Structure 1
Amino acid sequence: MGGFKKFLLRGNVIELAVAVVIGAAFTAIVNSFVKDVLTPALSAIAGAPNFGNLKWQIGDAVIGYGNFLNALVSFLIVATVVYFFIVRPYELLMARFAPAEPKETRECPQCLTEVPKAATRCSACTSELTPVSEQGSGSRTGQV
């Protein structure tokens, strides 16, 4: 029983629960916006009073595509909001605070061309170089 309690009180479970509740509330807002505001505006342009009533009849078969259009517009709005207000700011924040990746190259002290750290000769000017170990500071090394 202690393990279950520990599982429930872990931060990521609570965060997930909050995300689901907020997501459901946000979905209701977006669906209302699409149904009550956007769909009537687009329907007025298209000439139909409501997308939900749009149908296509082929013989005796009736294909109701209006609700699909409502759902598609709703999805696009949600995806746009999630990308521009959650994903993109998160990516920018992570890029700003992420540790710098160690350089795999260094500059040749003679011609300033980028060469691999383990190189013993510069590929541009053929100067002899002292290889730099992975634990090295990555600073320029002199000729041998």
Structure 2
Amino acid sequence: MSGFKKFLLRGNIVELAVAVVIGAAFGGLVQAVVADFITPLVKAITGGAEESFGELKFTINDSEFAYGHFLNTLLSFLIIAGVVYWLVVTPMTRLVAMFEKDKVATEKKCPECLSDVPIEARRCAFCTSDLTPAAAERPPA
């Protein structure tokens, strides 16, 4: 039982649970914005039918196709994906690029097999080709 307790109290599990709850609440908020503001605006612009935009549907052979509900869900998805991209992915990409810019290269490519080898290596560990720099590349003695 103590192993299970440790598993539940680890930081990652608690953070993940909080993220899921916040994500669900955010999803509900976006759905409300789409249903209450965006779809009525689209309906007003396009001169929609008497019924609610989310209830728009057509019938073929007694089968109803609720395309209004699909459009509401699609708009919700696009808004959530946009927010995640611009508020999470883009800043993280910039942050990672900032840290990698200051990173000093410790490896080079072998010209024969294109494997990564340490910069100081004189022979490739993979194909055993000679990696000594050419005379022009060698530092002065």
TM-score by length of 1: 0.71
**Which whole-Å CA distance do the structure 1 matches of 2:43 and 2:104 have between them?**
52
**Which whole-Å CA distance do the structure 2 matches of 1:54 and 1:89 have between them?**
38
Give the letter for the 2:92 counterpart: Y
Aligned-pair distance for 1:43?
1.2
1:32 aligns to what? 32
Matched, 1:104 2:102: no
TM-score by length of 2: 0.72
1:1-144 aligned at under 5 Å gives the runs 1-48=1-48, 49-98=51-100, 100=103, 102=105, 104=108, 118-121=131-134, 127=135, 129-130=137-138, 141-142=139-140
The one-character-per-residue Cα deviations of 1:84-115 (angstroms, maximum 9, x if unpaired) are 0011111211222346151527xxxxxxxxxx
How many equivalent residue pairs?
Answer: 117
**In 2 relative to 1, CA 119–51 (structure 1 residues): closer, same or farther, beyond 3 Å?**
farther
- Identity among equivalent positions (%) equals 48
Structure 1 runs (4+) deviating above 3 angstroms are: 127-130
1:134 aligns to what? none
The DSSP-based 3-state class of the residue aligned with 1:142 is: coil
Q: Which runs of 5+ in 2 are unaligned?
A: 110-118, 120-130
Q: Which runs of 5+ in 1 are unaligned?
A: 106-116, 122-126, 131-140
Superposition RMSD on alpha carbons, in Å?
2.2
The answer (yes or no) to whether the contact 1:56–1:64 under 8 Å persists in 2 is: yes
The answer (yes or no) to whether the contact 1:34–1:73 under 8 Å persists in 2 is: yes
